[in-house]
Amino acid sequence: MIRRDVPPGLVVPGPVTPNIQSVSGVARLAWEMVGELEIRGATASMILPDLAVVSAVVRNGRDIKEELADRLAFPASEARLDFWKGGKGEVLGVAAREAVVRQYEQVVEAAECRLGWIDAASLVRIPAWTEASASEPGTSVRAQLYRSHYALALFRGGELVDLRVRLRSGDDTDAVAAEIRRLPAMYGLPALSAVTLSGEGASACARALTEANARVSAEDEGEERQLEEALSALLRRE
């Protein structure tokens, strides 16, 4: 694995406006990395930032396209949609503005690679985690923590109940823990059976949840490690 630091301000994730301030600048980085790895012409999978997409979970036959359209800050006609259907009838829908996705695709194409799987960082492992929850008692939550935001995925008996993405500001692990504690009341649950945290500040957040009536664990520490795990899961699809 190799990595490059992107100059500050060059990529600003968001669902509406262009994310990449200079496609040629990011493409140059990608070109150099692909050359160093000697994989020109290979198939490349791509993880989109969570903040560049809009997601929703529906069940009971509700229209996922309508649910997503209600959450968009741009015309639905400009959206690229993707869906995943769980084993209990739940549907996870994701929308991204076509113009936003195209910027990221252009970077891969400029590096002379073919596009393979595309997914959002906190959505990559949802199918596997949903399947794993079938053997877990009660309702569990997996919290994926990044510097700018965090994602909470709620599971119950092999079903994805909901997915929530929230912004972060500074050292706010207590606020993240408070949001996790609110989940049972929000969804009419007696309690959470397990909370698994990973990413930026995972251990600190786990300590803030020591009094919760749930099994709490922290998988890893740091945003970069979190993204490595997501990328590894996406590459395994190939």
Task: For residue 209, give its domain range.
Answer: 126-236
Q: Which of 120, 137, 157 is the last residue of a domain?
A: 120
Number of domains in the chain: 2
Same domain, 154 and 41: no
Q: Does the structure show a pLDDT above 80 at 26?
A: yes
Instruction: Tell me what the mean pLDDT of segment 120-140 comes to.
Output: 94
> pTM of the full predicted structure?
0.92
Domain edge (last residue) among 57, 90, 120 = 120
**pLDDT band with cut points at 50, 70 and 90 for residue 211:** confident
Give the pLDDT of residue 82: 96
Indicate whether 3 and 65 sit together in one domain.
yes
| 79 and 107 fall within a common domain | yes
Please check the confidence at residue 212 and state whether its pLDDT lies above 90.
no
CA distance 238 to 229: 15
Same domain, 98 and 190: no
SS3 per-residue string spanning the chain:
CCCCCCCCCCECCCCCCCCECCHHHHHHHHHHHHHHHCCCCCEEEEEECHHHCEEEEECCCCCHHHHHHHHCCCCHHHEEEEEEECCCCCEEEEEEEHHHHHHHHHHHHHCCCEEEEEEECCCCCHHHHHHHHHHCCCEEEEEEECCCEEEEEEEECCCEEEEEEEECCCCCHHHHHHHHHHHHHHCCCCCCCEEEEEECCHHHHHHHCCCCCCEEEEEEECHHHHHHHHHHHHHHCC
Length of the chain: 238
CA dihedral sign, ordered 26, 29, 32, 37:
negative
Same domain for 114 and 138? no
Rounded CA Rg of the chain = 18
Q: Are residues 221 and 140 in the same domain?
A: yes
* Higher per-residue confidence, 51 vs 219: 51
- Give the pLDDT of residue 188: 92
Q: Are 99 and 194 part of one and the same domain?
A: no
Q: What is the CATH number of the domain that holds 176?
A: 3.30.420.260
69-73, 134-138, 146-150: segment of lowest average pLDDT: 134-138
Same domain, 137 and 104: no
Q: What is the model's pLDDT at position 60?
A: 85
At 31-90, the pLDDT tens digits run 999 999 999 999 999 999 999 999 999 998 899 999 999 999 999 999 999 999 999 999
My answer on whether 43 and 73 are in the same domain is: yes
Q: Are 80 and 191 part of one and the same domain?
A: no
**Please, which residues have CB within 8 angstroms of residue 48's CB and are 6 or more apart in sequence?**
96, 101, 104, 118, 119, 120, 121
Instruction: Find how far residue 209's CA is from the centre of its chain.
Output: 22
> Are 146 and 201 part of one and the same domain?
yes
Q: Which one of 74, 98, 120 terminates a domain?
A: 120
Same domain, 181 and 96: no
With 0-12 CB in 10 A as exposed, 13-18 as middle and 19+ as buried, what is 116?
Answer: middle
